[in-house]
Amino acid sequence: MSSRLSSVLLCLALAVSGCASASDRLAEGIELQNEGRYLEAAYRYADAVDKDDELVQARELFVAVSDTAVMLAMKSADDLVGAGDPIRAAEAFRRTDALFARGREVGVGLTPPADYNQLRRQSFDDAIDGLMQYAASVAADGELRDAQRALRRARSDFGASSAQREASVAAEIDLLLDWAEYDLGDRYYKAAFARAGEAVDLQSPPTRGTVRRADDIRNEALDLGMVRIAILPLTSRSDVRDSVGSHYQDELSDNLEIDYWVTPPPFVAVANSALVRREARDAASGGRPLNARQVSRVMDAVGSDLGALIEVTYVSMTDQNVRRTSAWARKRDGELVHWTLERGRYVLEVRAEVIVVDRDGDELERFVESGRETGGFERGVYGENPRELQLSSNESRYFDPDLLEKQRAEVQQAALEELAEQLADRLFREVIDRVR
């Protein structure tokens, strides 16, 4: 069979199935109705109308069966109230609400019973009260997650009034603060800090009492869970120092100290860098990298729990996609000579290795992060002194050492900023992971 013929037959099949689908839904609805499954039947009829709005029988049956489904749902709700289950009773009204909404979607308006709205509102109020009572009961038994879910349902599922929402929020705030205090007692400091913050954020603006209590919890969590880290002066591997000197490590160190070490995240305290440098100098011997024992001495001196050694291990600046254009110029003596205009991209990659150690100098973690950046360049190439060339102002800029250095510096700065961000983020995560 040709692909074209197959496509035609497929289109015809889809067209036929589209028409038949409405009839199928109608038939399914009739079968469900005969089984006494009126709510399901109503939805099948609605689907049929949705697929074919000229299917009059589906429309009529949808209205008739929906009336029956609503009456049965209201009776079920009344029975559930009598059985002491106001929440399931309210859910019955939610199901009928959904049926009314489905009717509106397919353009068939359903008329609720005269007392429907009054009974529905009373049922919803009873459900909200029931959820609030349930939350208090399970919270007393230590089932705090279940209590929180119940409180959130109380203000979200049953059309809560503003007063009911406020009551639910207030109850959840108290729950979260109690929960945070339990976390403190169990030494789960991050959880305590987070829950106290969640309590404050739950209400806008929060009450002064909430803020005071939350602040007390967070401050205690930070005090008990704080991890202090001494970040040793950055170094470079010998081959890196031999090729590029200490420039990259100095720039990276400045980026980290200015942008990250002074503003660590909660639960991280970075030891004073000047104090660490002084202690590191005192501990060092012969200009060699610090060993584990010496790092431990520095950490003891500055009162830190962890130490971090950061070393620049790789620097590579390469040219890519270089395009060359020949040009001519006269020397000051009048001789016509050749020079080359090169256009391309710098590609810079910088890597650094971090070693995290404990008070005993034992290695806890080792990782490598990298920063990579590209940037365009334009430069003139001439085998002799370019100052002897008679160039236009536009041509002269291709030999301007300041402009050439600016092109490289922009790439370098971006790569080091990226590396600093990744190093700080990873190091802080490693520290915070050690807080319960």
Q: Are residues 164 and 304 in the same domain?
A: no
pLDDT tens by residue, 4-49: 544 434 333 434 444 448 999 999 999 999 999 999 999 999 999 9
Q: Indicate the number of domains in the chain.
A: 3
Residue owning tokens 């009572």: 133
In a domain, 18, yes or no: yes
Q: Are residues 203 and 68 in the same domain?
A: no
Q: Are residues 38 and 139 in the same domain?
A: no
Can you give the pLDDT at residue 287?
64
Can you give the pLDDT at residue 288?
74
Count CA atoms closer than 13 A to 131's CA, side-chain side. 31
Q: Are residues 25 and 101 in the same domain?
A: yes
Q: Are residues 43 and 109 in the same domain?
A: yes
Which sign, positive or negative, has the C-alpha torsion 162, 163, 168, 169? positive
Cα–Cα dist 314/89, whole Å: 68
In a domain, 390, yes or no: yes
Domain span at 221: 129-225
Burial state string for 384-402 with b = 16 or more CB within 10 A and e = fewer than 16: eebeebebeeebeebbeee
Q: Are residues 184 and 218 in the same domain?
A: yes
Q: Which amino acid is at 343?
A: R
Give the ranges where 186-260 is alpha helix by DSSP (H). 189-201, 208-225, 238-244, 247-256
- Paired tokens of 333: 């003596």
Last residue in a domain, options 113, 140, 169: 113
Can you give the pLDDT at residue 108?
94
In a domain, 124, yes or no: no
pLDDT tens by residue, 295-312: 889 999 999 999 999 999
Can you give the pLDDT at residue 235?
92
In a domain, 123, yes or no: no
Can you give the pLDDT at residue 13?
42
Last residue in a domain, options 225, 250, 285: 225
In a domain, 119, yes or no: no
In a domain, 118, yes or no: no
- With a CB cutoff of 8 Å and minimum separation 6, the contacts of 159 are 121, 124
Last residue in a domain, options 176, 210, 225: 225
In a domain, 51, yes or no: yes
Residue owning tokens 């590579």: 316
Can you give the pLDDT at residue 345?
95
Q: Are residues 160 and 190 in the same domain?
A: yes
DSSP structural state of residue 397: G
- Paired tokens of 177: 């603060």
Q: Are residues 37 and 106 in the same domain?
A: yes
pTM above 0.85, yes or no: no
In a domain, 122, yes or no: no
206 phi and psi, to 5 degrees?
-70, 155
343 DSSP β-pair partners: 323, 378
Q: Are residues 175 and 302 in the same domain?
A: no
The CATH number that applies at residue 7 is 1.25.40
353 DSSP β-pair partners: 311, 368
Q: Are residues 414 and 337 in the same domain?
A: yes
The CATH number that applies at residue 412 is 3.30.160
Q: Are residues 54 and 8 in the same domain?
A: yes
Q: Are residues 214 and 264 in the same domain?
A: no
Q: Which residue numbers in the chain have pLDDT < 70?
A: 1-20, 286-287
The percent helix, strand, coil of the chain (3-state, each to 5) is: 60, 20, 20
* Number of neighbours of residue 430 by Cβ within 10 angstroms: 19
